[in-house]
Amino acid sequence: GAVVSQHPSRVICKSGTSVKIECRSLDFQATTMFWYRQFPKQSLMLMATSNEGSKATYEQGVEKDKFLINHASLTLSTLTVTSAHPEDSSFYICSALGTDNSPLHFGNGTRLTVT
Amino acid sequence: DAKTTQPTSMDCAEGRAANLPCNHSTISGNEYVYWYRQIHSQGPQYIIHGLKNNETNEMASLIITEDRKSSTLILPHATLRDTAVYYCIVRVVGNEKLTFGTGTRLTIIP
């Protein structure tokens, strides 16, 4: 079945630094990828939609200059959390949509801790 | 996308069938019902989806009422590894965004 790989699975960084999270579709081409954020004991919240070769579309309330998304190829999207602060600590999850009618598949998430 | 309503939590004995209900009374004709689950500290896992007919795969069965206003996910023989949060989502064909509600926290009891 479709596999989405996310890296790293865990990252700890200092306040003010930037962190890049990668999302790869391993056995299919993903025209669209989605980035979600999940705080403890809460549901997933969509942050942005990333289309290959074009600018990402951000959900209301998500700062595009803080959460930089790049979708340079059909198998890779990256999310960079710039100037991270402790309140950015969360579980970040990507998902990828193939070119056929298969369901959306998710990566295993990245737990970001900002100290 | 239509809103869904699910019980906050449920328990089920190991080896028994787990039946997870979902109400989607405002579902429209072109919206599918999707089920995902999330095991602690992992990404959501696709389970099954359907439009109006009942569906079955190796993981579960999906029963959709004739009026499509509700559905039930059935895990036929629950194991401890089925403990997770189960999300019922309705999605318009062509809109690939998935909006997650609060889901049902299913606990399988040994």
What are B12-49's pLDDT values in tens digits?
A: 999 999 999 999 999 988 899 999 999 988 999 999 99
CA B70/CA B21 separation, integer angstroms = 7
CA A82/CA A69 separation, integer angstroms = 11
Highest mean pLDDT among A24-33, A56-65, A92-101: A56-65
Taking any CB pair shorter than 8 Å as contact, residues of chain A touching chain B are 4, 6, 32, 34, 36, 43-46, 49, 91, 93, 95, 97, 103-109, 111
CA A44/CA A91 separation, integer angstroms = 9
Instruction: Supply the pLDDT for residue B64.
Output: 97
CA B18/CA B11 separation, integer angstroms = 8
% residues pLDDT > 70 (chain A)? 96
The phi-psi region of residue B36 (left if phi > 0; otherwise alpha if psi is between -120 and 50; otherwise beta) is beta
* pLDDT of A2 over the 70 cut: no
A100 CB-near residues (< 8 Å, 6+ apart): A28
Instruction: Supply the pLDDT for residue A101.
Output: 67
* Higher-scoring residue by pLDDT: A98, B91: B91
Mean pLDDT is lowest, of A6-15, A43-52, A77-86, for A43-52
Cross-strand pairs, B108? B12
Instruction: Supply the pLDDT for residue A98.
Output: 77
